[in-house]
Amino acid sequence: MCLSTLAGVLTAAALFVSAAAPSAASAAPAGPAAASVEARHPAFREDHVRNGAQFQKVLDDIVASGAPGVIAEVRDADGVWTGRSGKGRLGRDEPPRADGMFRVGSVTKTFVATTVLQLVAEGRLNLDDPVERHLPGLVPNGEKITVRHVLSHRSGLFNYTDSLWPGGLQGMYDTRFKRYTPRELVAEANRHEPAFAPGTAGGYSNTNYVVLGMLIEKSTGNTARREIVERIVKPLRLRRTSFPATSTGIPGPHAHAYMRLHGSDSPYVDVTESGMSWAWTAGAMISTTHDLNTFFKALIGGYLLPGRLMREMKEARTLGVGEPYGLGIARLENPLFGTAYGHTGGTPGFTTHAFTLADGSRQVTVSINSMADTEKEHIAGGKALKALLSMDMQVVRAGFRDERRFRGPAGVAAFAKGLPRRAGQRPAAGLASPAAA
């Protein structure tokens, strides 16, 4: 299935994991270990090689589906495994760096939702506040659309990325350095009738998360970027995570980003240098597999939100397509691993899958350096995520040197000690210790 417009990728195909669950046999493929499997531990033994081959096959299958390259990190109690396959730059014999940075797309939404829910915990916002109360005249039906509705994609607001580029992917490519303001993005959505009355149905819309970015700024007097950085990025020491303001590049080692402009038979074009103002708080952030796994481990562990709001966040309902969706987070169910929470992201040049098991025992992030264009590519990414969430890792003892800082509650709570406090502001809710159940 070829997606002819960017809107289709952003709203239907690249947002949720919908591939069929792999069988137990496909979750543990056999084969020789490739050189790109990285196990970081001095006591690397033959059993690591056998298990590493299983992971390598999962990544190799993504490249075989048509993607240029892929990197992944899997983290659990046994340690950390990183892997890669394919190329970091087409035309060169250069694999992607396993620690490379990438645009995370809609995974940004979980950072934004967490920030909004912290403001709810502080009493600055209420989930049942109408948008009109804080941003009068911004959107149609604003007096009936609540903060909860925009967090859960139940506002009915038209998705602005469905019409922002009349020329489809070619139009997006030709204007990739154009700068948009948040109000311009919402105005684009307002040119169209709402999809449904607020709260009566569900429909994924990037407009919701631009509105949430504006709510953050109105409630705090600061930029949404600053609030996300001060509340989440700095306390968790996500040193390679950023929210670009006007930069069109990626501020560190990275794979090149690719997309096809005219279907699966057209060649890849390089979109590594691209402006992301069109995505803003709906999908502009940059991160790494390691940082995203750290974020989701802290989030699901209750270190960023109090228990009652974490339960609200995980309360997921169907949006009609894809996985059930809560407040900025998707729920994935599978008999091989049970329940997982996270988000996927599709943006020109990158596809991201970042999920954690519900009990926090494992985190998986997969980054592909292309925007998925075919059904085969979408399925390969989804199958890889599910395989890595369920695959046996007991023999893997590889770990990063700094992994000790995040082992157990004490490791996470230590991050909170240096949390900056602005004048008159309470610290981020629930960060200093696990939230009460």
pLDDT, residue 53, reads 79
Contacts of 427 (CB under 8 A, 6+ apart): 416, 419, 421
Structure tokens at 338: 């049970």
Residue 398 has pLDDT above 60, yes or no: no
Mean pLDDT along residues 356-369: 97
Residue 112 has pLDDT above 50, yes or no: yes
Helices in 65-167 by DSSP H: which ranges?
A: 108-121, 131-134, 147-151
Closest by alpha carbon to 44, among 52, 36, 34, 56?
52
CATH ID of 6-16+37-91+98-416, from 3.10.20.740, 3.40.710.10, 3.90.1150.10, 3.30.70.20: 3.40.710.10
Number of residues in the chain: 437
Q: Identify the band that residue 89 occupies on the pLDDT scale cut at 50, 70 and 90.
A: very high
Residues taking part in catalysis: 106
Residue 24 has pLDDT above 90, yes or no: no
Residue 7 has pLDDT above 80, yes or no: no
Closest by alpha carbon to 386, among 350, 352, 353?
353
Question: Which residue ranges make up each domain of the chain?
Answer: 6-16+37-91+98-416
Mean pLDDT along residues 325-339: 96
**Percentage of residues in the chain having pLDDT higher than 70:** 78
Q: CA-to-CA distance for 146 and 132, rounded, in angstroms?
A: 9
State the average pLDDT for the chain: 83
